[in-house]
Amino acid sequence: MKIETEFNIGDEVWYMYDEEAHKAKVVRRSVTLNHDVVILSFFVAHKCKGATTETKISYPFPTKQALLESL
């Protein structure tokens, strides 16, 4: 099975975190098959309080404008 995604590792994406818009690079992707449903998750390097952590996001957007229009 081949699964193609809109975003690749290294792409910059926008997402919501703590009710704020953030931009970060995709560092990892995860695909889970649950019965006949494919669950795709993206992980970004999120900077918070001086430290960088890996944060799971389900709804990345290519631009800040696209993110704001989705709200």
Instruction: State the pLDDT confidence band at 11, using cuts at 50, 70 and 90.
Output: very high
Model pLDDT, residue 58: 81
DSSP conformation letters of 26-44: EEEEEEEEETTEEEEEEEE
Q: What angle do CA 45, 48, 55 make, to 5 degrees?
A: 35
Write down the pTM of the prediction. Answer: 0.77
Condensed to tens digits (0 to 9), the pLDDT of residues 16-54 reads 988 989 999 999 988 888 888 888 888 998 777 777 778
Model pLDDT, residue 5: 82
